[in-house]
Structures are given as structure tokens and as C-alpha cells.
Structure 1
Amino acid sequence: MRPVGVERAWAAGPYDRAVRAGRGPLFLRRTDGWLLPLDVERWCADADPADLTVLRRCEGSVLDVGCGPGRLVAALCTRGRRALGIDVSEEAVARTVRLGGRALRRSVFERLPGEGTWDTALLMDGNVGIGGDPDALFARMALLLTSGGLLIAETVPQRDVDERVLVHVTDAHGTVGSPFPWARLGTPALLRYADRAGWLAEGQWSAGGRCFVALRSRSTSSSAEPPNSAALTSSQRARNPSVDSPAAPS
């Protein structure tokens, strides 16, 4: 079940404007007024040394969930790796394609190419927060990966964080739409959710002030489709995800 309102919040207004410009300011605003700055400039730059510690650990084919402007997908494709980014923002997908990466405008909770066959999946830049329900997200990721597949997730540097909140995406022009659920997890909290969902902890590390965890899947999906789906190579489908999906993002 896909979280209501999330796609609309990220797919228009402040986020698209920031990605188009390549800079912020951009924030997640909690309903009590607290602001979480979003690092748009880093997302729109080339993969940095901290990112490279992640890319070096990737195995086989790579699915970047919430790929944003596409720096990781582009870096993987440049290295000859088979990689696909998914994002609900049309602007983010278009930028990824312009960088030479492959991307689809799609939610992780929709049907995706190659389900059950991806060797590695990435949840970077706060994307463990997608949907505001870590249990549901970890269950979904297990269906996307092959048995024994690798999930690399970025966590909040503050280790004691385990937070589920309602937020808006906002910039200097204000907020758009209704609040949507989001989660923030430090490493201990992420490992607790992962263990409960049946993942095996394989490693954790820090680089450039950022924190990462590697997890190994123990499950096998029964809904796999061929990994060489034509959707991976069509920028037209990146702009029109309904072509091979029963549910297109709103």
C-alpha cells in the first residue's frame, strides 16, 4: 500500500524548483514548526568521497530508491554498472537521465521492473524515511532484492533518533499540499527495525560526517520480472511511468 500524499509532496513545487536550480534552501517542516535542512547542493553535485564508500560496496545490479537528481545512478552507469533510479519527482528523473543515468518516475510502493532480481538497493539521503513506516519499507525492499541481496541505507548521525513525524516540503516560498508521514532513524533504531524484518546486519561505517549500514536479505520474492525490462532504457517511459505499471504516480 503506497503512502497517501507523499508522491504529490515531492513531485511538485519546492522540491522540483530546488532540483531545477541545483540549490536550496529546502526543508522538511514538522507540524510543530521544526525544520530539517535538505542538502540539495550535495544531491545535485557529483558523487563525493562518502558516496564512493557506498558505491564500492554495491554488488551486481543496483536500484537507487529515491534517486533524486541522480548523482549515484550516473556514477554507477559511468563505471559500467547496471543501475536504475526511481523517484516520484519528474524533475529529478529528467535530471538523472540528462546525466546519463537510467530512471523512472515511480514510487517504491508501485510495481517496478525486475522485482526480486536486484542485487543491491540503496536508501540514501534520508530515504529510510519514505512512507514514515520503517517496517513497511523494509518489507518492500526485501521483495525487490534477490535472495541474499544487499541493502545499503544511510542513517541519521544522531544515534538515538527513532522518529515518525508528519512533515511538509518547504522553501522560501512556503509549503505545498498536506503533511505526509516521514521517519528519521539513527543506526541503532534502523538495526532494530531491520532485525525485526528478518534482515542480517553486515556492516556499518561513517564517512564525511554521514552514517551507513549494510544489510543482507534472507527472503525471496515470488513476483520477479526479467531484469532487462525495456523500461530501464527508455527515457520516454521515465516521463510516462504508466506504460508498464498498473499504477502511475499522482
Structure 2
Amino acid sequence: MTTAFITGATSGIGKAMALSLSEAGYEVYAVGRSKAALGELRAAQPGITPIAVDVTDRDALESVLSDLHIDVLINNAGMMPPLGNFADMKISDIDATLEVNLSAAIMLTRLVVPQMRERQSGHIIFTGSSAAHTAFPNVAVYSATKAAIAGFAAALRADVMQYGIRVTEIVPGRVETELYKDILDEKARAAMYAGNVAVQPSDVAAMVLALLALPAWADVTRFDIMPTRPTTPSGTK
């Protein structure tokens, strides 16, 4: 059975990918910090193996990975710091964003890619963002981490393609997830997703299943998935 190791699997895009891949027959290792949320995920799909670990805890990650065979690595865990002008950001928020969105993904990839190289196969997927490729106000550090992920994915591909390892960057636009849950109030979030025009996590998961189904000689290096009818942050069309 093909295995998939998915970080940030307790909500949003990560949860949707975990459920979809498990339903498609993958042996899924779902990684997250919330034991309660992982328990709910396991209850919804008994074939999923929950792993409660913080992706920034390198020693814990290394211990978890020591005995696992991983065919598909999905670096999905991420965070959005409070929105605002860069000059007003707390240093702690900058550090946390860099650690979760960038350093953890690079370290996890480093822990997994040697076994893929040895087998001459594997697929590494990164959940990026349209903010990596288009400038938006009030998200400077978040954009920087996602742009770094884009650059890392491209350079990683150049390093590992000779070993039959595929690398894909997912570039979503506005997806209706809990990313803004802790930094926007309910009214602002309602406005953001007004009109039911946002991409859904299940849409991203469907695209991931499609690219994983391609033959080994075909690599989707990047796919952008955007709302057909995008809205502004205020919810207006």
C-alpha cells in the first residue's frame, strides 16, 4: 500500500487531503498537534494513523520518522500571523511564522528524502500560497515564507529529479479554511467568504489525487487553484 505523511492534517486542506487519500486506498499518517482533532479524524476514517507531534520539534519528528516508509510527503502545516504592517509585527510572530511555515518543512523534507532517494521514487508536495507570487499588503512575512517554499521546491526538484522523485508546489488562492480563525473576527471571516465563491479544501484534495494518479514519468511541478469569482477582503466582488 502506498503511504502518505501529511502535516497540518487536523483541519482545512490537510484534513481534506488525509480523508481523500485514505478513501482512495493510501495508508495515511495524519500529523497535527491536537490529539482531540486527530481522534475525530481517525473516527471519521479508521484507516488513518494519527500522529500527535509539533512539526517544529525536530527531535520528536526524527523519532516518529525513524521506522516509517513514506511514499508521499505532504508539507501542509502552516500558520498566518496577525495581519498588519510589517513595521508593527511582534518579533515572536515573525519567528513563529518562519519556524512553522519554512524551517519545519525544510527539516521534515531532509528527514524523508534520503529514503526516497534510496528507493528511486517518491513524491514531495508543498502547500504554498498565491501570496508567494503576488504582493499583498499586511502579510509580508507570511508571503516571504511561502515564496521561500516556492524557491525551495524548485531547487529541490533539480536535486532529486535524477532519482525519480517528484516535487509539486500547490498554489491556492482563497480557500475556505480556519487559517484566519485566530486573527479575524467572525464578521470579517464571513465577509471574506461571502457569496460562497471560495475554493473548498476538498477541491485542493481532488487535484492532489489527480496528480498522484499520473504515471511516474510525469511531474506536475506546480498547480494554481483559484476561485472562479474571487472577492476582496471586504467580501465585495
Scaled by the length of structure 1, the TM-score of the pair is 0.42
Which structure features the higher share of helix residues? 2
- Bigger relative contact order (CA 8 A; separation at least 6): 1
Greater fraction of residues in strand: 1
Normalising to structure 2: TM-score of the pair?
Answer: 0.44
